[in-house]
Amino acid sequence: MPELVVAYRSVGFGVARPYLVLHVSGVDGRSGLIPGLIDSGADRTVLPAGYAALLGYGPEDLEAVQGAQVGGSVTLRNAKKPSRPYVPEIPHVVFDVRPSFVDGCETALWGRGDIMRQFDVTIRERRQQFVLAWDE
């Protein structure tokens, strides 16, 4: 099974964390790079609300539901249509993600329901690395 070892990185806040940058194509065909934290505690991918417009989602493409976070309940706007991300170093592995957009969220979280169904993810905290493994 092929693997990609990713070093923990800082994205300008001083502390190295398990950030993964994905190239994401939105529902309007536009695309861009989004850095997010690998988050095994997130059932699905969560994005700051501002990414909805960048990925081409309008109000009709989103469904409001209640969710729970560490600080209490939160309103999620779940995408009805998928975006298509891939890891830049693995461009042939393209998959679907239906993000939940959250007002007030300031960090993208790559959750279990999409990213971690595509990749086996191993956290190596002592080495400040994580590993992505996938089926060819």
**SS3 for 135?**
coil
Degrees to nearest 5, angle at CA 50 with 116 and 115: 5
Binding-site string for other proteins from residue 64 to residue 103, where x marks contact by CB under 8 A and - marks none:
-----xx-----------------xx--------------
DSSP 96: -
Q: Find the radius of gyration of the CA atoms of the chain.
A: 15
Single out the segment in contact with other proteins by CB under 8 A; choices: 36-44, 77-85, 94-102, 114-122: 36-44
CB of 63 to other proteins, least distance (A): 21
Binding-site member from 54, 61, 74, 134 for other proteins (CB under 8 A)? 54
Is position 43 an interface residue for other proteins (rule: CB under 8 A)?
Answer: no
AA identity, residue 80: K
The smaller minimum CB distance to other proteins, of residues 33 and 64, is found at 33
Degrees to nearest 5, angle at CA 5 with 69 and 85: 55
Q: Give the separation between CA 136 and CA 9, rounded to whole angstroms.
A: 27
Is position 35 an interface residue for other proteins (rule: CB under 8 A)?
Answer: yes
Pairing mode, if any, of strands 3-7 and 129-133?
antiparallel
Pairing mode, if any, of strands 72-79 and 100-102?
antiparallel
The smaller minimum CB distance to other proteins, of residues 14 and 66, is found at 14
Binding site for other proteins (CB under 8 A): 2-7, 9-14, 17, 21, 23, 30-35, 37, 39, 41-42, 48, 50-51, 53-54, 69-70, 88-89, 106-109, 131
